[in-house]
Amino acid sequence: MISIVQLLILAGIVVSAFFVLRFKDLLASVISLAIMSLLLSIEFYILQAPDVAIAEAAVGAGLSTAIYVIAIKNSSRWEA
Amino acid sequence: MGEENNRMIFMMIAAGLGALILICLIRAVLGPTAPDRLVAMDTTNTLVVAVLVVLGAAWNEIIYVDVAIVYAMLSFVSTLYISKYLEAAQ
């Protein structure tokens, strides 16, 4: 039964990672990256590593999204 | 017997929530504007917290709920940052 959940989560990781690269709007890319990192956090949790899941949630959801948004704010939002 | 049944039910609930996460992902991919994608991400965050709590109940581990608490706090921060950017961009 857990393999069905895992299959859904892994499919979501692949789709969102593909769209991180494909979007021309960098803000949409950052949102897609945040979705990918939170799905990766669930995947670590399903593999029974809650400490890694906490670290991934802290870095992926909190820090890296905020830093990327600050970088976009100080440069251009659209890919040339 | 009852323990195994409970675990099965929690796993089925988690699979249903995983399907809802994929539907939110479709909205995030197709969404024409940035606020659509932001709302899809925020909904996904809430669903992820629900999945973490349900799986923690399925495995009967109290310590796993702490991950959900940390996640619920941090997902708020990232949503707040992106929406402050969108507000400044207008």
| Model pLDDT for residues B27-86, shown as the tens digit of each residue | 999 888 889 999 999 999 999 999 999 999 988 888 888 888 888 888 888 889 899 998
CA A8 to chain centre: 15
Chosen from A37, A45, A52, A67 to mutate, greatest number of chain B CBs within 10 A:
A45
pLDDT at B31: 80
State mean pLDDT over B14-26.
91
State whether residue B50 sits within 8 Å of chain A by CB: no
ipTM (interface predicted TM): 0.86
Residue A1 scores a pLDDT above 90 = no
DSSP track, A46-59: HTT-HHHHHHHIII
| pLDDT tier, B1 (very low <50, low <70, confident <90, very high otherwise) | low
pLDDT of residue B7: 87
Using the Cβ of A52 and the Cβ atoms of chain B, whether some distance falls under 8 Å is answered with no
Q: Which two tokens stand for residue A31?
A: 């949102």
pTM of the model: 0.90
Q: Please judge whether A8 and B15 are an interchain contact, meaning their C-beta atoms are less than 8 angstroms apart.
A: yes
